[in-house]
Structure formats: C-alpha cells, structure tokens
Amino acid sequence: MPFLRGALSALVIVAGAILGSFGGAAAADEALFERDRFSGDWGGVRKEGQDAGIDFGANYVAETLSNPSGGFKQTTIYQGLLDVSLTLDLGKLLDWPDASFYIDGYQISGRGLSRNGIGNLLAVSTIEALASTRLHDMWFQQEFLDHRASLRVGQIALDDEFYISQYSAGFINSTFGCPDIFSTDLPSGGPCYPFATPGARFRAAPIANFTVSAAAFNGDPAPPGPGDPQVRNASGTNFLIGQGGWFTIAELAYVFDEEPVSSSHLSGIKLGGWYHTAAFADPRRDTHGLSLASPSSNGIPASHSGNFGAYLIVDKMLWRRPETATQGLAAFLRVGGAPADRNLISLEVDAGLTFKGLFPNRELDVLGAGVSYGRIGFARRLDRDQVLFTGIDRPVRDYEAVLELNYSARIAPWWVLEPDLQLVFHPGGFTSAPPPAPVSQPIPNALVLGLRSAITF
C-alpha cells in the first residue's frame, strides 16, 4: 500500500520536525530537567489537545552495543528506535463513551549486534530489527461494564499485553520482553516486535484483582516467500488475515500486594496458554519417520498439525522500603514450554531481581540482574544424527543462555540512561560458527557491553 507507507513516513518526518522545534524552545516557567517530557507542554498546546481527546506521544531509544569478545565477529553497533503515537479519546471527540483509537509507527535505524556479530537466538536488544519505517499498532477499543471489560480490534501486537512481567521490562535483552519461545518458534517471529498483525483482544475483570484476557491474531505477520520476513513485510502494512493460520492465546492474572498510596499492585501471578492452527515442520524426522540426516531420508520434514504451549509468570515484591510506594527488592520468574517435536526452543526460563532506589537520592533508579535459559528441542537429536551418519565432529545444540546486569538511571523524568552488561552462553544454541571457521568450531560465548538512552518527547 504505497499511499499508507508514504503517509507513515510523512508522519514520522513531521513528528521529528515538531519535536525539534519544541525541544529547542523551553517554556520559561519550567526547568528542562523538571519536565515530564523533553518538549514540555508546547506552551499549553499539549494540554489543550489532551483535554480535547488528542494525545500525541513520541519516544526515542538509542543505544551502542559491542561484543569485545566472543560471537562470530567482534563489532560495535549503533541502533535507534523512534516510536511515534497518536491516541484519540472518542468520548471527548465524538461523544462516543468509553471508546478510543490508537496508532503508532516506528522509525528503526542502525543495525543489530546479534545479527551482525553474535549469531544468538536471544537477541541482545529489544529494539533490534532491520532499518525501516513501519506501522505498528492501529486499533479501536471499546470499554463496557463500567470499565470492567474491553474489546480491542485492529492491528495489535502480542507483546503489548501478554506474557508481561512488570519487573523484567527494564532489561535490554529481547527475551525479557517478548520471549524467544514465541519470537523463535512462531512463523516469522509471530506478532512480536517489530511486527503487529490483525487481530482481536477481549479482557475482563469479573472480580477484584483477577483479570482474564484472550486474543486471536493472524498466524503469520509476513506474506509467504523466501528471505527475511522483515523484508517481506517491510512497512507493517500488509494487513494479512488468515495468512498462515491463526494464533490464539489466553491468560489469567491475579494481582496482590496493593500499594496504599497509588493503589498499584506490586505482586502478581499469570497463567497462560496458546495455540497455533498452522502446520509445523518436525526438526528431526522426515515423512517416513527417518532422521533427516540419514542418507535414506527423502529430505521432507514430517508435518505436525498445530502448535501449542503454556506459561507461568510470578512477580513478587520481596521487600519494600518503609514509607515509599515502590522502592525495594523485587523478583520475577517466567517459565514457558512447547512441544520439542515442532519447536526449536522447547523450554524457556527467565528469572531475575531488581532493586529500585538502592542508592541515596536515587529513588527512581533501578539495578537489575536477570538470567534466561532456552533449551533446544529435538533439533539437538538431528545434530547427533548428523555426527553419527557423517562421522564428522560438530557441535550438538543443547541450550542458549544469557546473564544480564543492568542499571537504569533516571536523569530526568523524560530521560533514562542504562549501562548494560550481558554474557551470552552457547550462541545459537551451541551451533557451528559460520565459514571460514571449521564446522567443528562452535560460536564462542560472548561478552556484550552497551549503553542505552531513552527519551520521552
């Protein structure tokens, strides 16, 4: 859709011009580092728009990451993500009670470290993607039953609302956002960043502290064909419906440990399950039940009807500093599983600790330590078969893991700086390094150092 792609590009360019002009003109009565947003209130224009039902938002994330050791190549990269959004309160604009419209788009720049230097599955950055200008979310939402239920329809993303831990979101490695059991196993990475797909989501809170959510998405965010799915759907405007089957997910959530001042909840438990209707290839067996590594194999993987999995998330505030709202030590655990006979990653476990306000006079800073483990499914048996049938020694995939240490420093209400360290173990699941390295040499474990800057305009 050339017109929509052009309109999206124009929106991003115009947004950049607006942000630049307002960012340079500070409001006389508001100090720069005390504002909620970098560009301020635009001389009252922003507040007037919000009162009328129009809320414009923009965020820019920029980061430099380097792997001084390990991976298949040592390199340093820069990448950036400009996220521009528009929210319309249709109650204020059109006298349509409890209805809203939301749209956002991405301008992605630079290149990713995982793709260009490490070759790992658990991508080292939540913003890693091919450079592009793309539409992301575009949906309509109607709330009803006194705001205890809502229906959202349009182009939506899985990682907007599902499989989310409130304490893992601050980490930089992508697996602490949309888990790799989705982005690696689902067709084209599923409806996770940088993709959103047509779908519908229903959410209800039938009793206090308890929420049930369910959604159905188009099964494949990119049209069929060879090559990278981010190239096949380069602008996010394919609007595919029923392509590659359907992906459905449901989640039950219970929250507790209510904070008395803000009424936010500091702990919670979520239980979810998902099902995909498409056919999935067996990673080891052919249609006759022989190993795909066998000289007698026909080379055609066996097909499994459908795919499914389940997950559990636990967030817990372990200790809260007295007389504060959210400062203290918190922990998270996420566990997800899927059948090993049709998924590259069959088990993923993420866990970590965060401490908010560890240092004096740094009440909003967060120190975090997280670890993620992804177990390789029956593809590891294929690797053993290849060694057996060929007699050539090669790595046998087993797992990939990452350890991340992160410090989120709140410089201003609108600006966060995050120095970051990651250790990547068994990149690619312990797979062979690309040529000219010998096939027997695995990709070395990698050290990643980085700095991220996030600005809210």
Please answer whether residues 217 and 189 qualify as being in contact, where contact means their C-beta atoms are separated by less than 8 angstroms: no
Number of domains comprising the chain: 1
Q: What is the pLDDT of residue 30?
A: 61
Q: What is the structure's pLDDT at 323?
A: 86
Neighbours of 197 (CB within 10 A): 27
**Residue 363: what residue type?**
E
Reported as a single tens digit per residue, the pLDDT across 153-184 is: 999 999 999 999 999 999 999 999 999 999 99
Q: Give the helix/strand (H/E) hosting 382.
A: helix 379-390
Q: Taking the mean position of all CA atoms in its chain, how far away is CA 415? A: 21
198-202, 258-262, 301-305: range with lowest mean pLDDT: 258-262
In this structure, what token pair is assigned to residue 57?
Answer: 């938002």
Sign of the Cα pseudo-torsion (173, 179, 185, 191, in order): negative
Domain holding 320, by residue range, is 2-456
321's CB contacts (< 8 A; 6+ apart) are 327, 328, 357
User: Beta-carbon neighbour count of residue 146 at 10 Å?
Assistant: 7
- Is the pLDDT at 5 greater than 80, yes or no? no
Helix, strand counts (H, E) of the chain: 7, 16
- Please state the pTM of the whole predicted model: 0.90
3-class secondary-structure state, position 410: strand
- Segment 241-252 mean pLDDT: 94
Per DSSP (E only), the strands in 127-195 are 132-144, 149-156
CB-CB contact of 134 with 108 (8 Å):
yes
Q: What is the CATH number of the domain that holds 46?
A: 2.40.160.180
Within 13 Å and on the Cβ side, how many CA atoms surround 71?
27
Q: Please give the structure tokens belonging to residue 269.
A: 């438990």
| pLDDT tens, residue by residue, 386-405 | 999 999 999 999 999 999 99
Cα angle value 30/32/33 (rounded, 5°): 115
Taking only the tens place, the pLDDT of each residue in 132-158 is 999 999 999 999 999 999 999 999 999
- Structure-model confidence comparison of residues 230 and 10, the more confident one: 230
| CB proximity list for 184: less than 8 A, separation 6 or greater | 121, 343, 344, 345, 374
Are 384 and 348 in contact by the 8 Å Cβ rule? The answer is no
Six token digits for residue 93: 């604009």
d(CA 80, CA 108): 6
In the chain, what is the straight-line distance between the N-terminal and C-terminal CA atoms, in Å?
29
Lookup: tokens for 284: 């080891």
**Side-chain half-sphere exposure of 228, counting CA atoms within 13 A:** 9
Instruction: For residue 236, give the nearest of 439, 449, 1 by alpha carbon.
Output: 1
Distance CA 177, CA 169 (A): 6
Q: 91-126 pLDDT, tens per residue?
A: 999 999 999 999 999 999 999 999 999 999 999 999
CB neighbours of 241 closer than 8 A, spacing ≥ 6?
A: 198, 218
For residues 183 and 174, what is the distance between their CA atoms, to the nearest angstrom?
A: 9
Parallel, antiparallel or unpaired: strands 399-412 and 99-110: unpaired
